[in-house]
Each structure stands twice: as C-alpha cells, then as structure tokens.
Amino acid sequence: MIKKIIFTGCSTTAGNELWEEAHIDNYASLTFKQSRALKIPPDVDLRAYNYAHAFPAIVGEKLGVAVDNISWPGQSNKELIGRLVNYFKDDYYSDTVALIQFTTHNRMLVRFKEENEYDVAGSVVVGMGDDHRLSRTQNNIIKEVFFELLPETMLSLDDFVYANWAVEKLKSKGISCYIITSDSTVTDWFNWDQINSVTNKPNTPVKNDRDPQYLEAMGVDLFRDYLKHQLMPNDTLMTVVGKDAVLPRFHFNQMAHYIIADRIIKELKNVKLD
C-alpha cells in the first residue's frame, strides 16, 4: 500500500499560473506578452497557492496519502532529478513512490553571481529572451554555446541517462520510481515554437540531422529504456489534457490539474511497490 509519494519537476508540477487563472479576470485569453506584463504577488505567496492547487496536492488529497512536492520552476532535468535522489538519503524505504516530471531539454545548470545557496540554478535557454539573472554578455554566450556549439542529440541523451539512472538507483532503495513526460512534441528551442509531434514515433529521440549519425543507435537504446520507466506508457501530460488546457505562459489550467491527478491515481493502482 502506497503511504507516500514524492513529486519532482519544473513549473508544470509546481502549478505555475494557477494563481493568475483564479484571480485575474479573463486571464486565459491573454497573450504570452500580456501575461508577462502583469503585476502579481511576491513569489512566496503566489507559489504557496500554486503548490496547494497543483496535481500533486490533488493526488494526495484524493488518495489520502502523504505527498511531498519538491518541484521548482525553471529547473533542468538534471536539477530536478538531482534533488529527488538527494531527498532519499537512507538506504531503504517502504511503501514509497517517486514520480519524475520530465521537462524540456533547453535548460542548463548555470552559476550566478549570488552569495547564497541558490547561486547555482537552472536557466531556460530561449533565443528570443534573456535570463534576468545573467548579464547581456552572459546571455549571449550561453545561447551561442547551446544553439551553435553543443549537439542537440547529446543534450537530450544526457537527460535520458540521468533519468534512467535515477529510476534504477531509487528502485535499489525500495522506491517505485516512474517518469511522467510533459510533452513529446519536438520544439524549435530558438524561437520557442513547437514544430513537429513525435508522439506516434516512440523509438525516436530528439535529434538533429546535423548531429553525428553514429549517435543514433545509442540514442534509440537510451530512449527505449526511458520509455520503459513511464507511468503513462502511451501518453504525455499534453495528450491527457489537450492543448486547449494550456494557459498564456504554457502551463496547465486548474481543470487540467484535476484531470492529470485522476490519471495518475488510475495508473498508481497498477504500481507494484518494490
């Protein structure tokens, strides 16, 4: 019997934009730029509402089990996986499930010029925007590195390696660990534009024709292992709720969080605790 569920993920699992949807009239009809220009409460107050209404909290309430949502907006896959593995410091756990919400690959772990424990954090790399924590020069450098120098195939495969390892590592501690994929749509990261769905191509990882073709065999093998660890083998969060459930800044609306929670509960009935 499941007694505790740990969720890790990015802003999707942290419930971003739920406060705005609930408190700002006609919020869902705004454009991305309009939503970014709004004056909203401090992060502490806003995030408290979002976490309380996101699908992990709904799952915990409906199942009557303890839930810990350690998700954080803007995290890269390496960060959210690292935080999850670090959460489980003991050698063995019972009656515990861990769920990894896999985010996009266009995120890098960056060192910022801050004098606190958060001086190393994720930065979402988008060609048409900047990270306010970095200088203009630093933003240009990171974009050059990400879009011009690093092969996209290796960036995506690197994340798959981390995810596959984490699942097996936590299983060795008695924890049933699964991955939830947000969306399988290939994204033009530079322009932040979704260009081609690969939902019906389950053996095709993210790749670029300009990348070395000898990486394909390794990529397909790693991606197949990644698919074996899915909580919802034939679905992503996007296919479960549909694109109409997306708010101006690309997060899911409140109804979608309830739908996702119900689907996770359904899948958890088939989970065999390690």
pLDDT recorded at residue 156: 78
Question: Could you give the domains of the chain?
Answer: 4-109+156-268 (3.40.50.1110)
d(CA 213, CA 54): 40
d(CA 175, CA 167): 9
d(CA 132, CA 238): 29
pLDDT recorded at residue 266: 96
d(CA 15, CA 181): 16
**What order of strands is seen across the sheet that includes strand 66-69?**
66-69, 4-8, 96-102, 176-181
Q: What is the pLDDT of residues 100-110, one digit of tens each?
A: 999 887 888 77
pTM (two decimals): 0.86
Q: Where are the beta strands (DSSP E) in 46-91?
A: 66-69
Residue by residue, what is the 3-state secondary structure of 163-199? HHHHHHHHHCCCCEEEEEECCCEEEECCCCEEEEECC
pLDDT recorded at residue 70: 97
Provide the residue-wise pLDDT of the chain in tens; the chain has 274 residues: 899 999 999 999 999 999 999 999 999 999 988 998 888 877 778 899 999 999 999 999 999 999 999 999 988 899 999 999 999 999 999 999 999 999 887 888 777 766 555 577 777 777 777 888 888 888 888 888 877 777 767 777 888 999 999 999 999 999 999 999 988 664 444 444 444 333 444 444 455 556 677 777 787 888 888 889 999 988 999 999 998 999 998 899 999 999 999 999 999 998 877 6
pLDDT recorded at residue 199: 41
d(CA 251, CA 18): 8
DSSP states along 106-164:
-EEEEE-S-SSTTSEEEEE--TT---TTS-HHHHHHHHHIIIIIS-HHHHHHHHHHHHH
Cβ 57 vs Cβ 67: under 8 Å: yes
Residues 273, 102, 113, 40, CA torsion sign: negative
Residues 125, 144, 121, 37, CA torsion sign: negative
pLDDT recorded at residue 240: 95
pLDDT recorded at residue 273: 77
Q: What is the pLDDT of residues 180-239, one digit of tens each?
A: 998 866 444 444 444 433 344 444 445 555 667 777 778 788 888 888 999 998 899 999
**Across the chain, what does the average pLDDT equal?**
84
